Amino acid sequence: MSQYNLQTSIAYLKGVGPSRAELLKKELGIRTFGDLVNFFPNRYLDRTQFFKINQLQQNSAEIQVVGKITSIKTVSQKRGSRLVATFVDETGSMELVWFRGAKWIKDSLKVNVPYVIFGKTNYFNKAFSMPHPEMELLSDYKKSLTTAMQPIYPSTEMLTNKSVSNRVVQKMMQSLFEEVKGNFQETLSSEIISKQHLISKKEALFNIHFPKNQELLTKAQYRLKFEELFFIQLQLILKKMIRKSKIRGYSFEKIGDKFNTFYKNYLPFDLTNAQKRVLKEIRKDIGSNAQMNRLLQGDVGSGKTIVALLTMLIALDNGFQATIMAPTEILATQHYNSIKELLGEMNVNVQLLTGSVKTKARRLIHESLEDGSLHILIGTHALIEDKVKFKNLGIAIIDEQHRFGVEQRSKLWTKNELPPHILVMTATPIPRTLAMSVYGDLDISVIDELPPGRKQIATAHRYDSNRLSVFKFMKDEITKGRQVYVVYPLIQESEKMDYKDLMDGYESISREFPMPKYQISIVHGKMKAEDKEYEMNRFLKGETQIMVATTVIEVGVNIPNASVMVIESAERFGLSQLHQLRGRVGRGADQSYCILMTSHKLSADAKVRLETMVKTTDGFEVADVDLKLRGPGNIMGKQQSGVLNLKIADITKDSDILKLARELAFETLKKDPSLKTQENTNINRAYRGIHKKTGIWSNIS
């Protein structure tokens, strides 16, 4: 047995030492032998093929040749000198060239001894040369663990500067395998391994770092991806099971007057089948004794607010209060207005609490909240201040939750002795694979159909050169009595330039749509809140026909009469942002339009984004393309991006493995919820190890 194990500090590994250990920790987060063994290559060079010198081609491929050095010389050049060696095999000769480190390299080269050289060749003056080749004595090459498939590890600029090259990492890996002597514990049950035809953990680790061939590499990658996703799913499902069995919630058993009165007399339209299905799922949750934790996804305009209101009325019927928390004042105000309007004459006390509510009104809200006479409170972050105390909060609805940090959400829990039921709503469709991975411990409901009478928004892509015809189209729509949004990008890095574009755009629109025939509102981040509010309201009341704005209007603003959305420099927006902006129109019964304006210079990604927008209005399809283009980290935003620090799996490319891992994790826990059986010893041990290391899972939702 080796004296070292996977918990040993990396400083003790041959060839590392304290200063290199510090560097590895800082740059790659590698602290122990275990961290190093789980540091996987991100690509491989196929070194199965050897070339003869007379077979070399003029291309940029990396190749390897076996041969001997016959002579070495130093050649002066303008600045310093270069080292040149003549390298021969039985078919011809070429030059090896070094521009740096000449003295040190010259001392280390052996003449007339077989070497394996590897690198890219140059062709000049009818002869081939190889600058800075990787070199290994043929005798060492045959002995080493390094195989034909050569692993290339992720690196950083700092590592390169400190001479921790790919070769150095390979040597460290080789030392580690020699020290640990294959002592890697199995992490999966024998049943899963045999049923899924997986190779063992020991074989997988060896073949991910030292693959003998393509087939073994594929098997190793599959096994390690499966394992990584399996343990993520195991943690999420266990967390969900614990929550359902241990965390008690209020049971809302009755459907009473408030719900029934609203349903019979005030519901503005028949619910869609999707809304009915979601309500059923919610009623089942809040009728049990466990706390509900549900994610409600639905595209812009799919009717999430009605579902939220009906859910809150059930809480009221059971003698509880309800709250909605929104990320911005505009959105909170909008929820407040639409819920007040929907409730009409009903005897339900609804109030709005945001940063701009005056002290006197605030005091009244606090008092009526504590004595229970206030039924529904809608607000922003102001809701989670310590001063806000409920008499008995039964349900908290969180809108666009990715904009709230974990700590902010958890504060709502502490408002009661038992945690309130939680319903999280989002209009940003989350692709299925991402939802399974990041929200796997939440129950998920999806409203996947639009209310009757809603028309699909027609989307078109136009170049700047078509601007006059776009202006004409805007005029035709305004003549029909409709309103138009014109949105400009505003990105922190280029704020000054963006602001200038917005102002230039505003001026050219003012020239094209002169007063008094046309009125134009403008809204941007540099304005005072009350000026923004004033302009928004003018547009809302129909006093202005055109709203020129930056992305302030992305979330929430509901103006049924606005039927045209023109997005300027659309290539600079992300897909989900374009989709959200498009959702600002199409809220009335009229046909609505979204026009994406761009210059002719477009990147490949931008073309895909624009084509996707023109092709589909399905938010889930848009989200899938977005996930493929941007990867999971960027979609989740800052609060969530650390959640999926995946080492080898990629949830966009490995969705099939993810589904299988989730199924098997479910199956395992169904048979053995506490992982106590002999069969699951390995899984239990590995799970406890991961759980101890990553405190992150408790934060996900």
User: What local confidence, expressed as pLDDT, does residue 45 receive?
Assistant: 80
Return the SS3 of 672.
coil
CB atoms within 10 A of CB 97: 17
User: What local confidence, expressed as pLDDT, does residue 656 receive?
Assistant: 85
CA angle 14, 17, 18 (to 5 degrees): 160
The Cα–Cα gap between 665 and 657 comes to 12
For residue 140, the domain's CATH number is 2.40.50.140
Give me the torsion for CA of 197, 202, 680, 243, rounded to 10°. -100
Residue after which a domain boundary falls, among 568, 601, 616: 616
Query: Torsions phi, psi of 224, nearest 5?
Result: -75, -35
Is 541 found in the same domain as 392? no
Residue 695 inside a domain? The answer is no
Is 608 found in the same domain as 471? yes
Scored b (16 or more CB within 10 A) or e, 281-306 reads bbbebbeeebbbbbbbbbbbbbbbbb
Residue 657 inside a domain? The answer is no
- Show the 3-state SS of 355-367: CCCCHHHHHHHHH
Residue 284 parent element (H or E): helix 273-287
Residue type, 362: R
Q: What is the pLDDT of residues 110-148, one digit of tens each?
A: 999 999 998 888 888 888 999 999 898 998 888 776 566
CB atoms within 10 A of CB 111: 11
Residue 372 inside a domain? The answer is yes
Return the SS3 of 210.
coil
Beta bridge partners of 120: 62
Residue ranges of the alpha helices (H) in 597-680?
Answer: 604-615, 619-630, 632-635, 637-641, 655-671
DSSP letter at 9?
Answer: B
Tokens of 7: 């918990």
Residue 269 inside a domain? The answer is yes
Q: Are 99 and 135 in contact (CB under 8 A)?
A: no
* Closest to 658 measured CA to CA, from 42, 224, 233, 241: 233
Residue 376 inside a domain? The answer is yes
Residue 626 inside a domain? The answer is no
Is 560 found in the same domain as 471? yes
Q: Are 583 and 554 in contact (CB under 8 A)?
A: no
Is 466 found in the same domain as 383? no
Residue 218 parent element (H or E): helix 214-246
Tokens of 144: 């080493």
Scored b (16 or more CB within 10 A) or e, 413-450 reads eebbeebbbbbbbbbbbbbbbbbbbbbbbbbbbbbbbb
User: What local confidence, expressed as pLDDT, does residue 641 receive?
Assistant: 38
Tokens of 559: 């103006």
Q: Are 559 and 484 in contact (CB under 8 A)?
A: no
* Closest to 523 measured CA to CA, from 584, 473, 610: 584
Residue 296 inside a domain? The answer is no
Report in angstroms the alpha-carbon separations of 194 from 188, 190, 200, 670. Answer: 10, 6, 10, 19
Residue 611 inside a domain? The answer is yes
Q: Are 652 and 642 in contact (CB under 8 A)?
A: no
Is 345 found in the same domain as 374? yes
Is 92 found in the same domain as 29? no
Let me know how many helices (H) and strands (E) the chain has, helices first. 26, 22
Residue after which a domain boundary falls, among 575, 599, 616: 616
Residues of the chain with confidence (pLDDT) below 70: 1-2, 60, 145-148, 401-416, 438, 491-494, 552-557, 631-644, 692-701
Place of tokens 């089948």: 273
User: What local confidence, expressed as pLDDT, does residue 696 receive?
Assistant: 39
Residue 495 parent element (H or E): helix 495-512
DSSP secondary structure letters along 34-99? HHHHT---SEEEE----B-GGG--SS--EEEEEEEEEEEEEEE-SSSEEEEEEEEETTEEEEEEES
Q: What is the pLDDT of residues 292-322, one digit of tens each?
A: 889 898 877 788 899 999 999 999 999 999 9
Q: Are 148 and 207 in contact (CB under 8 A)?
A: no
Report in angstroms the alpha-carbon separations of 331 from 344, 500, 579, 604, 679. Answer: 20, 27, 18, 34, 52
For residue 278, the domain's CATH number is 3.40.50.300
Beta bridge partners of 211: none
Is 162 found in the same domain as 28? yes
Q: Are 552 and 523 in contact (CB under 8 A)?
A: yes
Tokens of 439: 């929200």
Is 104 found in the same domain as 161? no
Is 479 found in the same domain as 345? no
The Cα–Cα gap between 167 and 176 comes to 14
Return the SS3 of 487.
strand
User: What local confidence, expressed as pLDDT, does residue 146 receive?
Assistant: 58
User: What local confidence, expressed as pLDDT, does residue 92 receive?
Assistant: 93
- Is there a cis peptide before residue 516, judged by omega within 30 degrees of 0? yes
Residues present in the chain in total: 701
Q: For residue 161, what are the domain limits?
A: 10-43+156-180
Residue ranges of the alpha helices (H) in 302-446?
Answer: 304-317, 329-343, 359-370, 406-413, 432-438
The Cα–Cα gap between 167 and 151 comes to 9
Is 163 found in the same domain as 97? no
Q: Can you give the C-alpha Rg of the chain in angstroms? A: 32
The Cα–Cα gap between 172 and 32 comes to 12
Query: Could you tell me where the beta strands, DSSP code E, fall in 439-480?
Result: 443-447, 458-463
Tokens of 406: 């974990």
Q: Exposed (0-12), middle (13-18) or buried (19+): which is 71, by Cβ within 10 Å?
A: exposed
* Closest to 313 measured CA to CA, from 371, 263, 378, 359: 263
Query: Torsions phi, psi of 93, nearest 5?
Result: -135, 160
Give the rounded distance of the alpha carbon of 134 from its chain centre.
38
Is 276 found in the same domain as 167? no
Q: What is the pLDDT of residues 583-640, one digit of tens each?
A: 888 877 789 999 999 999 888 889 999 999 999 888 878 888 887 787 655 444 433 4
Quick one: CA dihedral 223, 226, 229, 235, positive or negative? negative
Query: Could you tell me where the beta strands, DSSP code E, fall in 413-466?
Result: 421-426, 443-447, 458-463
Pairing of strands 115-120, 376-379: unpaired
Tokens of 686: 């590995």
Is 140 found in the same domain as 161? no
Domain count, the chain: 4
What pTM does this model have?
A: 0.66
Residue after which a domain boundary falls, among 120, 146, 172: 146
Q: Are 350 and 378 in contact (CB under 8 A)?
A: yes
